[in-house]
């Protein structure tokens, strides 16, 4: 899976966002912290949920189960707005 080209990950100083193009079929914004930004960054290239969880575990000091749950929640939200190619 990876982000569709019609969604662009965008970071400001203290937050991360996913911005849809005018043709994405979703008119809102996804906003979050650096954890969201890290997940979006991984999704710029083809990857799997397991690879995303592994990369996040290597980067953040938190229990794997918690990270897996957080990643799953973000991916579900991205699927919900049609932002993922799978």
Partner 1 sequence: MKDVYRFADAVVAVESLYPAVHDYCRAYRFDGAPELTVRITPADLTAERQKSAAEDRAEGRAVRDFADDYLEILAVYRKLAEWAPLRETVLLHGSAVAVDGAAYLFTAKSGVGKSTHAALWQAAFGSRAVIINDDKPLLRITQDGVTVFGTPWDGKHRRSANCAAPLRALCILERAAQTQVIPISASQAMPLLLQQIYRPADPAALAATLRLLDRLTQTVPLYRMGCNMAPSAAVIAYEAMKG
Residues at the contact surface with partner 1, assessed by CB under 8 A = 5-6, 8, 10, 12-15, 17, 19-23, 27, 29, 31
Q: Which is closer to partner 1, CB of 45 or CB of 65?
A: 45
Shortest distance, position 43 Cβ to partner 1, whole Å:
15
Q: If we measure between CA atoms, which residue out of 34, 12, 28, 33 comes closest to residue 78?
A: 28
69 CB neighbour count, 10 Å cutoff: 12
Sign for the pseudo-dihedral over CA of 57, 58, 60, 61: positive
CB nearer partner 1, residue 6 or residue 47: 6
């Amino acid at each position: 899976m990876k982000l569709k080209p019609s969604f662009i990950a965008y970071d400001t100083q203290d937050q991360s966002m996913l911005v849809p193009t005018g043709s994405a079929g979703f008119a809102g914004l996804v906003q979050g912290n650096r954890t969201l930004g890290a997940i979006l960054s991984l999704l710029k290239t083809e990857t799997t949920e397991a690879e995303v969880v592994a990369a996040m575990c290597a980067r953040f000091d938190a229990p794997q189960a918690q990270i897996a749950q957080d990643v799953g929640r973000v991916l579900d939200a991205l699927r919900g707005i049609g932002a993922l190619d799978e």
